[in-house]
Amino acid sequence: MGNNPHLGFIGIGLMGAAMSLRLLERGWDLTVWNREPSRLAPVLAAGARAAGSPREVAESCEIVLMCVLHTEAVADCVWGEDGVAAAASGAGLVIDHSTIDPAATRDFAARLKGRTGAGWVDAPVSGGPVAARAGSLTIMLGAEPEDMAHAAPVLADLASNVTRMGGVGAGQLTKLVNQAIVGSGFVLMAEALRLAEAAGIDAAAMPGCLAGGLADSALLQRIYPQMQARAFDPPLSYARQLLKDMKAVTGAAQALDLTLPMVETACRRYADYVGLGNELVDSASIIRLYEAGS
């Protein structure tokens, strides 16, 4: 991939590490930064180079990818004293894979364009670390057409489904819809599993039994079996992250004068679960809330 631009990646958590390893395997040169440097070890062992700050990442590459915790983390990585916007030269495009506030995304993009001339693509993802390692993520984009074209070769190595949903911010709005389905669906799978187990039928056979019917879905085929097996270690996602996203969904609905009772209920279920000290457990382990009789 020697003819491709050098990449930078900011945020080497569960998703960021999986995405970075995938890019390295596909032959991209990669410079990485993470607030906790110890998390860099797997990607450094695979051939990435470490930078001392987001600014150094931006100065070393043409395209910066980010996947960090929330809106405030993106703001710090871009606008902090040693952030991307402080780079004297370098990156002409930021691809943000974080799940953050759509209005903040539009603000960040406009400000960065005015300050450095760099474009911005909001590109939240769905599929988790396993899909990231396989290059089969689903990516929902908000971008100007020219910035999408610039990002396309990188995204092609990360995803099997990339869709532009509109201008900057549209990717984040689409992710809110995605998370409404995911968060409500995780709660629904937990309740369906508890019903099956309490009824005394073969709960493990349910996905195969319902395959091809109207109840079939990726949630039934992937998340329900994970819950049924209680296979939650190591976590594939964090409950606190899904709660953060569900709160964002309910906030967006309120701003649009919408009432979404099912989503609001799922959000409360995750708030109950995280409130019991389950911030960093797998999102699918919410089945334990029902086992506890809550």
pTM: 0.90
Asked if CATH classification 3.40.50.720 holds for the domain at 7-167, the reply, yes or no, is yes
- CATH homologous superfamily of 172-291: N-(1-d-carboxylethyl)-l-norvaline Dehydrogenase; domain 2 (1.10.1040.10)
The 3-state secondary structure of the chain, one letter per residue: CCCCCCEEEECCCHHHHHHHHHHHHCCCCEEEECCCHHHHHHHHHCCCEECCCHHHHHHHCCEEEECCCCHHHHHHHHHCCCCHHHCCCCCCEEEECCCCCHHHHHHHHHHHHHHHCCEEEECCEECHHHHHHHCCEEEEEECCHHHHHHHHHHHHCCEEEEEECCCCCHHHHHHHHHHHHHHHHHHHHHHHHHHHHHHCCCHHHHHHHHCCCCCCCHHHHHHHHHHHHCCCCCCCCEHHHHHHHHHHHHHHHHHCCCCCHHHHHHHHHHHHHHHCCCCCCEHHHHHHHHHCCC
* pLDDT computed for residue 163 by the predictor: 98
Residues of the chain with CATH 1.10.1040.10: 172-291
98-120 pLDDT, tens per residue?
999 999 999 999 999 999 999 99
pLDDT by residue for the chain (294 residues), tens digit each?
A: 446 779 999 999 999 999 999 999 999 999 999 999 999 999 999 999 999 999 999 999 999 999 999 999 999 999 999 999 999 888 999 999 999 999 999 999 999 999 999 999 999 999 999 999 999 999 999 999 999 999 999 999 999 999 999 999 999 999 999 999 999 999 999 999 999 999 999 999 999 999 999 999 999 999 999 999 999 999 989 999 999 999 999 999 999 999 999 999 999 999 999 999 999 999 999 999 999 776
Residues of the chain with CATH 3.40.50.720: 7-167
* pLDDT computed for residue 89 by the predictor: 86
* pLDDT computed for residue 294 by the predictor: 63
